Amino acid sequence: MLTRMTLAPGLHARILIMVETEDTAVKVGSGDVPVLGTPRLLALAEQATVQAVAEALAPGETSVGTRVALEHLAASPVGAHVEISTELTEVDGRRLVFAFTARDRRATVATGTIERVVVDRERFLARLTR
């Protein structure tokens, strides 16, 4: 395995979005109201976890999601600005645990944790074709 930078608690990333029609529960099929859909919120949180560790992984490595706990606390309508912040809080071998928070100007929108595992990209993909 190639050498990587240190994967250590404290790595973090932030994503700022403005909720668009494409982000709503109606559009993603998770509800019938025009607010930020939970699946879209989760995808953004996962995107932030990927960004948080991207520079610390060795060439050929990636991380894959394995577990999520998400509490969606407040609705964000179309036009709202939402910031999703994530921080690596635990490293246990290849297992990475992140905490995340999403906020808009009015409230905490969501909190949760995401677990990912560091894998060799080629070996991971090779197993899919068996």
Q: What is the mean pLDDT of each run of 10 residues along the chain (130 residues)?
A: 71 98 97 97 98 94 97 97 98 97 96 97 87
* pLDDT for res 1: 42
Residues flagged as binding site for substrate:
65, 116
Residues flagged as binding site:
65, 116
* pLDDT for res 6: 79
Residues flagged as binding site for CoA:
65
Domains defined along the chain, listed by start: 12-128 (3.10.129.10)
Residue 123 CA to residue 72 CA, distance in Å, equals: 35
- Order of all β-strands in the sheet with 12-18: 12-18, 81-92, 95-103, 108-120, 61-72
Sequence-separated (6 or more) residues with CB below 8 Å from residue 126: none
Catalytic annotation present for 62: no
Which candidate in 62, 72, 89, 101 is catalytic? Answer: 72
Catalytic annotation present for 38: yes
pTM value?
0.92
* pLDDT for res 130: 59
Beta-bridge partner residues of 103: 83, 108
Catalytic annotation present for 83: no
* pLDDT for res 25: 97
* pLDDT for res 2: 44
